[in-house]
Structures are given as structure tokens and as C-alpha cells.
Chain A
Amino acid sequence: MRTPFGSAVLDAACRLLVPFVLIFAVYVIAHGHDSPGGGFQGGTILAAAVILIRLVHGQDAIWGLTRVGALRLACGGVAVFAGIGFLSLLFAGNYLDYGVLPLPLETVKVRVMGTLGIEIGVAMAVTGVLVLIFDALTAWGEED
């Protein structure tokens, strides 16, 4: 974004809106077991918050996600997902079989924890990738 839509009204609205959007995103990710929601949806809402900041403040926003940060988030999300899979391989289970993870809980609760872990990984990957796509599509003409 070379020219952000910065103005006093947009700035105030953005400051008011973003914390609630973030809280709602965390709720959607964490409550995906009992209600509609999960990693994909929550990650998209998180990316919407970041893109809102990008639209209002442009690339030089003080808070928000940098490009390198978004790339790291995307890589980290896929790594978390695959890592939990390998972790269950390490504890003599099948790949992505969360029931064998050594947590002091009953098996079903351990599965819930494993599912929550990969939902967080998916949400990180989706957030990072959507922010990266937005950045790539709006970065043209930046060099000149």
C-alpha cells in the first residue's frame, strides 16, 4: 500500500474496532469445538484485522504485522501442524494421532488439546498467507 486511506475518523474507528476483532478471532479459534468456528475462520478474521490496519495506516503502521512477520507466521503455522503430527509419531502413535500425547488428562481430553493445537497452527498459517497475498497484490509500484 503506497497511499493508505489515513484520516482522523478512520484512525479512531480502526483503533476502536481492532481489539474487538482480535478478541472475536481468538474466540472463534478457541471455541471451534463447541460452536461454528475453527482455525480457518478465526485465521481469516485475524487477517481481516491486520488488513484493516494496513488499509488505514499503510505499510508504516506501528502496530500490525510486518511482511517478514507474516511469512514467519505462515511457516510457523505449517510447522506447528506438522510438528504435532511428528510429536505423536514420537510417542509411538500414528501420524496426527493425538491420543498418545503424554498430557496428564484422559484420552479424549488429550485429543481435544491436539485438535486445538492444530487449529492454532491452521489459524497462524491462514493469517500469514492472507496478509502475504494482500501485501503482494498491493505492493506494485513500490520500487519507483
Chain B
Amino acid sequence: MWENLSGYLNYWLAAVLLLIGLYGMLGRPNLVKKLMAMNILQVAAILFFIALAEKTGATAPIEVKGLHDVSAYVNPLPHALMLTAIVVGVSTTGVALALLIRIHRHFGTLEEPEILERMRL
């Protein structure tokens, strides 16, 4: 039973993290909490890709002398893609925080219902 399930455990954990992020973005009214939830969602996507790269019994994708077997190293492609995704995530978070600062300067609040209320006035 456990043998059967453990092959999918990483995907389920990534899905749970993604759902936490989705819940935060859909259900919380505070914009900073939405941003934090977006970061959690992004981490879920990164973990999912890293889980796809995994091979049983394989080592890190750095060549060890005398070990030329393809199945001895994990797949380097998702690692390379996620490396850039992390840095891009940091800069999108920076832009989002800058936008939040502007919103706070303009409306004086970061609660979404109050912002919508003030936009109607």
C-alpha cells in the first residue's frame, strides 16, 4: 500500500501547497496576504518541477569522475529552469510590493473591500 502511494506523495504535497496559495489568493481580503499566498503558490510549482526531475538512486547533476551513466544523474533541465524561476519570482515580488506601497499611499489601506469601497466614491 505505502509502496504504491509513495510514488505520488511529492505531487500531492505540491498540490496541497498550491491549494494553500490558491486559497490565500481567492479567500483573503488583505493584499499583502494575497502576495504571500502567491509566493507559496510559486514554491509549489517549483517543488513540482524538482519532483519531476527526480530519478531513483541518482545523484546531483554534477559530473563525478568515472560515472558516465545517464541514469546516475537527476534530470538537469528542470533544475536549470527553476533556478531562473526563483530569481524571476524574487523580482516579481519586488514589483508587487512596490505596487502595494503605491496602493497604500493612494488609498490608505490594503484591505480589498475598503479599496473597492473607496474606488466607488
The answer to A–B direct touch (Cβ < 8 A) is yes
Q: Which of A87-144 contact B (CB under 8 A)?
A: 126, 129-130, 133, 136-137, 140
Interface residues on B, range: 10 to 19
Per-position contact with B for A22-48: 1 when CB-CB < 8 Å, else 0? Answer: 000000000000111010110010000
Chain A residues whose C-beta falls within 8 Å of the C-beta of B60 in the assembled complex: 36
| A130–B87 alpha-carbon span in the complex (Å) | 10
Measured between C-beta atoms, what is the minimum distance from B80 to chain A in Å? Answer: 10
B94 within 8 A of partner (CB): yes
B81 within 8 A of partner (CB): no
B83 within 8 A of partner (CB): yes
Per-position contact with A for B49-68: 1 when CB-CB < 8 Å, else 0? Answer: 00000000000101000000
Interface of A is mostly: helix
Contact B62 A133 (CB under 8 A): no
Chain A residues whose C-beta falls within 8 Å of the C-beta of B87 in the assembled complex: 40, 44, 126
Interface of B is mostly: helix
Measured between C-beta atoms, what is the minimum distance from B81 to chain A in Å? Answer: 12
Chain B residues whose C-beta falls within 8 Å of the C-beta of A136 in the assembled complex: 94, 98
Per-position contact with A for B83-99: 1 when CB-CB < 8 Å, else 0? Answer: 11011001100100110
| A103–B87 alpha-carbon span in the complex (Å) | 32
Q: Can you name the residue of chain A whose Cβ is closest to the Cβ of B63? A: A34
Measured between C-beta atoms, what is the minimum distance from A54 to chain B in Å? Answer: 15
Among the listed B62, B84, B90, B97, which residue makes an inter-chain contact with A130, where contact means beta carbons less than 8 Å apart?
Answer: B90
Chain B residues whose C-beta falls within 8 Å of the C-beta of A130 in the assembled complex: 90
Contact A40 B91 (CB under 8 A): no
| A69–B100 alpha-carbon span in the complex (Å) | 26
| A136–B98 alpha-carbon span in the complex (Å) | 8
Given that A44-B87, A133-B91 are contacting pairs, would A140 and B62 also be in contact in the complex, using a CB cutoff of 8 Å? no
Given that A44-B87, A126-B87, A129-B91 are contacting pairs, would A36 and B62 also be in contact in the complex, using a CB cutoff of 8 Å? yes
Contact A137 B101 (CB under 8 A): yes
Given that A35-B62, A40-B84 are contacting pairs, would A140 and B91 also be in contact in the complex, using a CB cutoff of 8 Å? no
Q: Can you name the residue of chain B whose Cβ is closest to the Cβ of A44? A: B87
| A129–B92 alpha-carbon span in the complex (Å) | 12
Known: A40-B87, A130-B90, A136-B98. 12 other contacts (CB 8 A): A34-B62, A35-B62, A36-B62, A38-B83, A40-B84, A41-B83, A44-B87, A126-B87, A133-B94, A133-B98, A136-B94, A137-B94
Which residues from chain A sit less than 8 Å from chain B, CB to CB? 34-36, 38, 40-41, 44, 126, 129-130, 133, 136-137, 140
